[in-house]
Structure 1
Amino acid sequence: MLNFYTNTQSKTYDAWGASSCQPAIAGGRGRYCALKLRKLTRQFIKDRSILPVNPYGDWNESMLVDEDLANDINLYLQEVGREISAKKLQQYLAQDDVCAKHGIEKPIAERTARRYLNALGYRFTTPKKGQYADGHECDDVVFYRQNVFLPQWRHIQHRMDSWITADCLPEYGPKMPGLQVIAWFHDESIFYAHDRRKRAWYHKDAPATPYRKGEGASLMIADFVSADFGWLCSPDGRRTARRILKPGKNKDGYFSNEDIIEQAEEAISILKECYPQYEHVLIYDNASTHLKRPEDSLSARKMPKGTPKEGQNWGIEVTKRDAVSGKIIYKADGKPEKTKIHMGDARFADGTPQPLYFPAGHSREGVFKGMAVILEERGFGDMSKLRAECKKFKCAPVGPGQEQRCCCRRILYNQPDFVNIPLVLETACKAAGVTAFFLPKFHCELNFIEQCWGYAKRIYRLCPESSREDQLEKNALNSLDIPLDTMRKFANRSRRFMDAYDRGLNGRQAAWATRKYRGHRVLPEGIMNELEKNSVV
């Protein structure tokens, strides 16, 4: 009020009543407040004493209004990490140095500490699930990710459309010459009949209702998806590569490598017929079903070192199938019947075949030679004194450029023809003129179809619960109607992970670097240091 009254630039200069109304209006008050201001100002001019302070509400005010104290508490809670408790906060605020710094006169109760934790944004609940990083940094996984998959992805990335997150429009830029590449990601997911949303609004007096035990009938769906077209199907929607399976021993069985290949061939047929103007790439998870090798392919895993004794032989144990239908033959106890076959021929360094079994005319015709004989034929010298395998196959490390010759099995493992064995799925796709990639193990964040499954299951869980299998299939297929814009946002997130790995970040750093944080959130100091070293922040 005095500022308005004495300021010559003010419109209320030398106007007593108007100068009192201005701050009253600014504070959302009325004439009574202006009257009080005039009285207090006259008192101040008369005796120049300190203006009276209204103590209303001060005695019931939390100590957290002190920003310095709130910041110190936040720093302490970050140091505690997952071991946060109200008791520890109570003990922290009772420390002599903390009390002296912030003027705390008496300790707080544990119940007050719980209220402080709630006020600071902490909740006593189960942790939210984020991006997992189990197995991301195993040596073999890192090697495959950095030296196999990422170079393959970089080779096609510059001929793909990148989608802007805001409105999901294609961002056209300079592209490498050649056909535009469409990446189709493959995966399977299972829907359960009793999988429904559990959390909802219930009346406090609502009675407990009986529920069905178990997950109920299941339905597995396997499909391809791309950020350009969505689910893989013909433009008219009549042809699709989607596979629907009721898994179980007494139902449709389980998704096998043969089913994967059949689905891939159907997908390639649709793509070549409906989208011939593009170059297509099929991307699969690094699952054992997808990575199956031919049954007679080379493997030193169970080979014996020496030639089997008289009357014995060694071969690969495989599942026996019917010669006409190709179906698995089962024994009376329900288990698949097994049979043994010969392993295929190896190859010398010059490419000529090396039979692993003694040829016709030999005294042991058709008998497996053994690892020692195989290596001797390759020029490794006498193998009689070399052990078959190191204990638990933990061979001693060797220096750079040195050859591993600690055991027979390790030598064979490192032979080029034993290492470079084409996969059945990879060979089938290549024969059809389409490239197949395989994601690194444990890296589900790179396959954005996983997020499509999550979106679909969120919709599916809102459907009325039913144990009928036809209703299960209907609800599951209806939930797969995902907007294309949403799919492109999912694809953008997966691509950000690929870019993070391409910059040399590990799984933990990539998860933090691709996550969006609001202004009040603070990255842990250790993560910040790691990201700053890699110039991500």
Structure 2
Amino acid sequence: MIEFKECFKGHTIECVFDQARTHTAKSHSVNDFSRSVGTKCTVDKIQYLDPNGKARSIDCFFQSGPNKGLSKGLDVIAKELGIAQPEKFKLPALRDHLSTHPAFQNVSRLELLAQKYHVRIHFCPKFHCELNICEGLWCFQKQFVRKYSDQTFPTLLKNIVVSREEFSKKDTHLRSVRRFWKALQSYKDGVSYADVMRLYLSSKCDGTVKSHTRISNTKL
């Protein structure tokens, strides 16, 4: 990592991720908190960006005083976030009110980590594998492994390796790249998702996301 940091010092780093749950998992939710002191609390600290883009943080546990070590609860947290008289709200209403605050409109853990190192994160559209070249590789490998499966673990491991070799040998990545740009242009031109699927994947597609679709070179 030291070599990487030195080589790319001063560069703007941007990373592209798919919508896997491990990538988009949020650090906390307003529903993870109870309202009273010493009750349920899943995080030690809430980190967020204020409307001016400045990083803020608030402790979820008392750091001193008679309640030291206990969770603050939503009433105390709400007061520290500037909400007047939170005790007058019923819990569902308080949670709804807090959900509009930047502290609870939080980004993913991955984005928080990236912000720490000044790295920009971009997420691919959810489920849209026609715009995700990594997904194209997984589609190809899954189909290959299933096609030549004999339901044994050794064959599974062997097929995973061979599928990668076949993907490279057949230049399947070039099909994925061409499909990516053509699909992107089609969406820009106002073509519907269902029509894009039929045009660049298969005429049998009905526009709903059901499973991975074979990468075809027919209309590219």
Q: Once the 2 structures are TM-superposed, how far is the Cα of residue 426 of structure 1 from its aligned partner? A: 6.7
Instruction: Give the share of equivalent positions with the same residue, in percent.
Output: 24
- Secondary structure at 1:354 match in 2: strand
What are the within-5 Å matches in structure 2 for residues 423-442 of structure 1? 423-424=109-110, 427=113, 431=117, 435-442=120-127
C-alpha spacing 1:376/1:514, structure 2 compared with 1 (3 Å) = same
* AA matched with 1:478: V
Asked if the contact 2:44/2:59 (under 8 Å) is kept, the reply is: no
Report the Cα offset of residue 282 of structure 1. 4.1
Q: CA deviation at 1:516?
A: 8.0
Specify whether residues 472 and 445 from structure 1 end up closer, same or farther in structure 2 by C-alpha distance, changes over 3 A only: same
Aligned pairs for 1:140-289 (under 5 A) are 282-289=15-22
Which residue pairs with 2:45 in the alignment?
Answer: 344
Q: Give the gaps of 5 or more residues in structure 2.
A: 204-220
Residues 443-464 of structure 1: per-residue CA shift (max 9 Å, x gap): 2222233333443455545658
Q: CA RMSD in A?
A: 4.0
User: Are the structure 2 counterparts of residues 509 and 353 from structure 1 closer, same or farther at C-alpha, using a change threshold of 3 Å?
Assistant: same
Q: What is the rounded CA distance, in whole Å, between the counterparts of 2:150 and 2:179 in structure 1?
A: 32
Number of positions where the alignment pairs a residue of Structure 1 with one of Structure 2: 194
The residue correspondences of 1:353-502 to structure 2 (distance < 5 A) are 353-361=57-65, 363-389=66-92, 407-424=93-110, 427=113, 431=117, 435-460=120-145, 463=148, 465=150, 467=152, 469=154, 471-481=155-165, 482=167, 483=169, 485-502=171-188
Q: Report what 2:40 is aligned to.
A: 314
| Gap change, CA 1:379 and 1:490, over 3 Å in 2 | closer
Alpha-carbon deviation of 1:299? Answer: 2.7
Summarize the Cα distance change of 1:474–1:371 in structure 2 as closer, same or farther, 3 Å threshold: same
Query: Would the aligned equivalents of 2:145 and 2:159 in 1 still touch at CA under 8 Å?
Result: yes
TM-score normalised according to structure 1 size: 0.30
- Is the alpha carbon distance of 1:414 and 1:443 closer, same or farther for their aligned partners in structure 2, counting shifts above 3 Å? same
Partner residue of 1:290? 23
Structure with a larger share of its residues in helix = 2
TM-superposition CA deviations, 1:164-219 (whole Å, max 9, x none)? xxxxxxxxxxxxxxxxxxxxxxxxxxxxxxxxxxxxxxxxxxxxxxxxxxxxxxxx
Cα distance in 1 for partners of 2:140, 2:57 equals 52
Conserved? CA contact 2:99–2:105, under 8 Å: yes
The answer to whether the aligner puts 1:302 opposite 2:27 as a matched pair is no
Separation in structure 2 between the aligned mates of residue 306 and residue 373 of structure 1, nearest angstrom: 8
TM-score, normalising length from structure 2?
Answer: 0.65
Larger Rg: 1
Counterparts of 1:519-534 in structure 2, within 5 Å, are none
Q: Is the 8 A contact 2:30 2:95 kept in 1?
A: yes
| Mapped partners of 1:486, 1:424: distance in 2 | 30
Q: CA deviation at 1:437?
A: 2.6
Change in 2 beyond 3 A, CA 1:384/1:461: closer
Which ranges of structure 1 fall in alignment gaps of 5 or more residues?
A: 1-264, 317-341, 390-406, 518-537
Structure 2 vs 1, CA of residues 467 and 509 (structure 1 numbering), >3 Å: closer, same or farther?
Answer: closer
Tell me how far apart the structure 2 counterparts of residues 429 and 348 of structure 1 sit (CA, whole Å). 10
CA-CA distance at 1:415 after TM superposition: 1.4
